[in-house]
A = this chain, B = another copy of it.
Amino acid sequence: MAKLTRRGVMMLAGTLSVVGVAKAQNGRPATDTERWGLYEIALDGPAQGNPFVDVSLSAVFSHDGQTVHVPGFYDGDGVYRLRFSPESEGVWQWRTMSNAEALTGHEGVFTARPATGRNHGPVRVTADGYHFAYADGTPFRQIGTTAYAWAQQSDDQCDRTLATLKATPFNKIRMCLYANVKAEPIEPFAYSGADPKDWDPARFNPMFFRRFEARVAQLQALGIEADIILHHPYDKTHGYAEMARADDERYLRYMIARLGAYRNVWWSMANEFDLVKAKSSADWDHLGQFVADTDPHQRLRSIHNCKAFFDNRRPWVTHSSIQNGMSVKDDTRAEIYRSVWEKPVVFDEVCYEGRIDLRWGNLTAEELVSRFWHGLIAGTYVGHGEVLTGENLSADGGWTGVGGHLRGDSAPRLAFLKTVMEAGPKPGIDPIDKWWDRHIGGQAGQYYLHYFGDEAPSEWSLDLPKPGLAGGEQFRADLIDTWNMTVTPVPGVFTMQKKDGYDFHDPARPTITLPGKPWLAVRIQRV
Contacts and interface: CB of A to CB of B under 8 A. Distances in A.
Interface of A: 307-309, 311-313, 324-327, 329-330, 332-333, 336-337, 339-342, 357-359, 435-437, 500-502
Contact of A341 (B340, B342, B500): B340
A340 B502 contact: no
Nearest to A281: B342
A328 to B, nearest CB: 11
B436 A326 contact: yes
A313 B312 CA distance: 10
B436 A329 contact: no
17 contacts: A307-B435, A308-B342, A309-B339, A309-B340, A324-B435, A326-B437, A327-B332, A327-B336, A329-B437, A332-B333, A333-B336, A336-B336, A336-B337, A336-B340, A337-B340, A340-B340, A359-B436
Q: Is the interface of A mostly helix, strand, loop or mixed?
A: loop
Question: Which of A325, A339, A358, A500: most chain B Cβ within 10 A?
Answer: A339
Contacts of A437: 326, 329
Contacts of A500: 357
A99 to B, nearest CB: 41
A42 B388 CA distance: 77
**Which 6 A-B pairs give the minimum distances between C-beta atoms?**
A340-B340, A336-B336, A333-B333, A324-B435, A311-B313, A309-B340
A44 to B, nearest CB: 50
A71 B359 CA distance: 57
A358 B436 CA distance: 13
A53 B436 CA distance: 47
A12 B337 CA distance: 48
Contact of A501 (B308, B332, B358): B358
Nearest to A312: B340
Contact of A333 (B330, B436, B502): B330
A250 to B, nearest CB: 30
Contacts of A324: 435
A256 B480 CA distance: 59
A342 B309 CA distance: 9
A62 B481 CA distance: 72
Given A308-B339, A340-B340, A357 B501 contact: yes
A307 B339 CA distance: 9
